[in-house]
A and B are shown apart, each in its own frame.
Chain A
């Protein structure tokens, strides 16, 4: 089902506010919005994936160790993705031998972060979540199979080549339900009105001058 088209800037802003509304810290919320935008720019359902990831409540952060990351229950793809990018090239992070992560919500949402990890180690990477696969490298990404897989264990390995350049056109039509879910979460970043706040908002009274 398709919905109204948003600009990529609107997708990023909505994703950021929704992630913050869902309880992520601001820095991670920025990354959530950025990731949704990058997925949409690559023709993938970025806002839909983010809405699905946030619907399950706060996911955990990974316990990092060389070769294998684990969590207590499904991991948050934004926290896990941010850590993937942060740790790339470090001993506890992605190395030439690849790595495994147990289990992550909406694994396709990791792809933008895998792009950052690929840039850090200077090699294209393949992400596999069983029912779907993605490629990242050269600042771009692609995905095939079950992109909307809700939760899965993933493996990350060096790839022979990165995604085809000049792939999919942006996907800016956002389905109504996930959009409404993100907007509802975004509203949790706002403050209800008071008389003081109305009075302090700026120009008041008559502007007929």
Chain B
């Protein structure tokens, strides 16, 4: 059948409802898809033939110095400046609060002058304690995975290749501990760059920074191997280099983002769900799509086999995933049911009936994979004009607000808020490190300074306060008397027409797992090898298996 036929059908009827999609257990099973932000970056770089080179490499025999990686697209250039440091082992920490790193970086808008380079050399190594400016887009740093890093340097210095099993076990030479963009530490505001096509999709500058930093991680081990081994030293086999990504350590600090940016969250989810619906709605199987699905399944199985986690919950989910991928493979061995009115939907429905959440969300990613032509255009819908959604409409009637709360937040109103377990946790910012943390309400002080992330409880409180208010009054009058419900009413209004804006779970509950929020966000970035180190923080890999920047373009 032709692609045009494949687009036929009533897509809306195949869309998953928010009550199904926006639950933490499912969000915490999310897999990267071809709409993930790093995939969008790689597709654009390839399609536009970006030219990527390394105009500066001034690094000494101890691995200390500076480098620049330049990406030139059709309209603009971006340059990652890298500062390589000699970090004593006792200062190496993944915590966002560390004060020294093995390497620090900034992504420059355009190409830095020597004066820019010197200014950045005085600031970028300080990270949070330094300042960058409107000519810079991102600030990041990375630490070595010491065990693997030293192994690779030693092997290459001796003229040998590293042990592939060791590479596979860790998966990266360095891991980033924070990637700052969007105006942080003086960087360019998102609004200043959002109209550039190459940066319009979310987090493209951050993804470009990490991709270029990955090239640095390869270059620095080769450099140190040459310094140690001289002419005997080997270059890292490109096929092995490709198996290495950039690691990332991420903790609670990332979790509030999805709650603070409901319009963005909606648009990410809506794009992915629309993509799934389009695939399911097809009345046939496009040429090559089934073969593409099977190829993606094989890749997913290899990834699942190499994906390891000691976290009990994740270990269980990995077992589910491996079994589910085998099950899907079994179904496909007999081929898709091409007699079904909607063959991909038939596969999806079978998955819903028989697979774990982990398997279902993996199936989603697999089903999008061979349908780039059908779904890739949705990538541009994942940005958000948050300022346009900010103003409240004070004219809304109080009875309409009550009805909307019942319709969109009924799940929150039905929670027993007198049960201490439902409000067991509170989110706050630590005075000491200015990082978000999660407290235990019954045991710790500070709940009076709680962050406003308990949306479910806020919805219930707002509904209770509105209950006695005259229905014909505008919410303007209600809010003048009750400014404490302003934030909730803003969320209520922007949720209209944005069904995926809200996580439909109680984020204050004793049973809430922050790693579920992290998993969802990281999957949208395109992260693989999600490995929780506790319920609060994770390690992941980015760009594993992706081409080196310098393999792309002319």
Residues of A that sit less than 8 Å from B by CB: 4-10, 24-28, 30-31, 34, 61-62, 64, 79, 82-83, 85-90, 92-93, 116, 119, 187-194, 196-198, 200-203, 207-209
CA distance A62 to B89 in the complex (A): 60
What 7 pairs between A and B have smallest CB-CB spacing? A27-B486, A9-B183, A86-B394, A191-B446, A202-B251, A7-B183, A27-B487
Chain B residues with Cβ below 8 Å from A200 are 437-439, 536
CA distance A202 to B95 in the complex (A): 7
A201–B394 touching, CB < 8 Å: no
B187–A192 touching, CB < 8 Å: no
On whether A116 and B183 interact (CB within 8 A), knowing A25-B487, A191-B428, the answer reads: no
CA distance A193 to B479 in the complex (A): 34
- Within 8 Å by CB of A197, from B188, B189, B251, B444, lies B444
From B2-10, B139-147, B367-375, give the one contacting chain A: B139-147
A208–B95 touching, CB < 8 Å: no
Chain B residues with Cβ below 8 Å from A207 are 92-95, 143, 249
Sample (14) of A-B pairs whose CB atoms are under 8 Å apart: A5-B134, A8-B183, A8-B189, A9-B182, A25-B483, A25-B487, A86-B479, A90-B476, A92-B476, A197-B446, A200-B437, A200-B536, A201-B433, A202-B537
- Output the residue of A9, A10, A82, A188 with the most chain B CB within 10 A: A9
Does B490 belong to the interface (CB within 8 Å)? yes
A86–B183 touching, CB < 8 Å: no
- For A64, the closest partner residue in chain B by CB is B480
A202–B536 touching, CB < 8 Å: yes
B249 CB, nearest partner CB in chain A, Å: 6
Does B235 belong to the interface (CB within 8 Å)? no
B residues 448-500 touching A (CB-CB < 8 Å): 449, 452, 474-477, 479-480, 483-490
Does B299 belong to the interface (CB within 8 Å)? no
On whether A191 and B430 interact (CB within 8 A), knowing A7-B134, A88-B394, the answer reads: yes
What per-residue 1/0 map shows which CB atoms of B173-212 lie under 8 Å from chain A? 0000000001111111111000000000000000000000
- On chain B, the number of residues with a Cβ less than 8 Å from chain A's Cβ atoms is 69
A191–B449 touching, CB < 8 Å: yes
Chain B residues with Cβ below 8 Å from A87 are 394, 474, 476
- For A119, the closest partner residue in chain B by CB is B391
A189–B486 touching, CB < 8 Å: no
Does B404 belong to the interface (CB within 8 Å)? no
- For B485, the closest partner residue in chain A by CB is A27
- Within 8 Å by CB of A86, from B443, B480, B487, lies B480
A86–B476 touching, CB < 8 Å: yes
A27–B483 touching, CB < 8 Å: yes
On whether A197 and B437 interact (CB within 8 A), knowing A190-B428, A190-B449, the answer reads: yes
What per-residue 1/0 map shows which CB atoms of B102-145 lie under 8 Å from chain A? 00000000000000000000000000000101100000000101
A129 CB, nearest partner CB in chain B, Å: 22
Does B407 belong to the interface (CB within 8 Å)? no
A10–B186 touching, CB < 8 Å: yes
B251–A82 touching, CB < 8 Å: no
Does B429 belong to the interface (CB within 8 Å)? yes
Does B434 belong to the interface (CB within 8 Å)? yes
B residues 416-449 touching A (CB-CB < 8 Å): 428-435, 437-440, 443-446, 449
B251–A26 touching, CB < 8 Å: no
Does B390 belong to the interface (CB within 8 Å)? yes
Chain A residues with Cβ below 8 Å from B334 are none
Chain A residues with Cβ below 8 Å from B475 are 86
A194–B449 touching, CB < 8 Å: no
Does B406 belong to the interface (CB within 8 Å)? no
Known: A187-B431, A203-B249. 19 other contacts (CB 8 A): A5-B134, A8-B189, A27-B483, A31-B486, A82-B486, A83-B476, A86-B392, A86-B394, A86-B479, A90-B474, A92-B477, A191-B437, A191-B449, A197-B437, A197-B444, A201-B95, A203-B537, A207-B94, A209-B145
What per-residue 1/0 map shows which CB atoms of B144-164 lie under 8 Å from chain A? 011100000000000000000
- Within 8 Å by CB of B431, from A61, A192, A202, lies A192
- For B487, the closest partner residue in chain A by CB is A27
A4–B131 touching, CB < 8 Å: yes
Chain A residues with Cβ below 8 Å from B191 are 8
On whether A201 and B184 interact (CB within 8 A), knowing A4-B131, A85-B392, the answer reads: no
CA distance A195 to B188 in the complex (A): 37
On whether A116 and B186 interact (CB within 8 A), knowing A189-B429, A208-B92, the answer reads: no
CA distance A64 to B483 in the complex (A): 15
CA distance A118 to B186 in the complex (A): 32
B186–A93 touching, CB < 8 Å: no
A7 CB, nearest partner CB in chain B, Å: 4
A28–B486 touching, CB < 8 Å: yes
CA distance A197 to B536 in the complex (A): 12
B186–A201 touching, CB < 8 Å: no
A80 CB, nearest partner CB in chain B, Å: 10
CA distance A200 to B484 in the complex (A): 29
A81 CB, nearest partner CB in chain B, Å: 12
B residues 223-252 touching A (CB-CB < 8 Å): 249, 251-252
